[in-house]
Amino acid sequence: MSHKVFCKKYQKEMPGLALPPIPGPKGKELQLSISQEAWDKWKSHQTTLINEKHLDMSNPDNRKWLSEQMDKFFNNEDYEKASGFKALD
């Protein structure tokens, strides 16, 4: 049975994540404040950004930038959009 969280991305109560999506305190924070739907949308967007920007995830600066984009995405701030990508939904 999934638990409900108040999703800060969609500003409503929604099914939450079963487990923290990333290790550490940040993962626990996300588990308590992000819905499964918001996480799934972020994963798709993250993949697009990594591919389009040719990010090297072994590079600490690239990981930091992507983490900042994730925070902006979930907080409904102005986050980086993929320039050559059109979503199908």
For the question of whether the overall pTM of this predicted structure is more than 0.85, the answer is yes
Q: Where are the domains of the chain?
A: 4-74
For the 4-74 domain, the top CATH level (class) is mainly alpha
Whether 85 shows a pLDDT value over 80: the answer reads no
Cα–Cα distances in angstroms (integers) from residue 15 to residues 7, 37, 50, in the given order: 9, 8, 27
Q: Give per-residue pLDDT as tens, 9-56.
A: 999 999 999 999 999 999 999 999 999 999 999 999 999 999 999 999
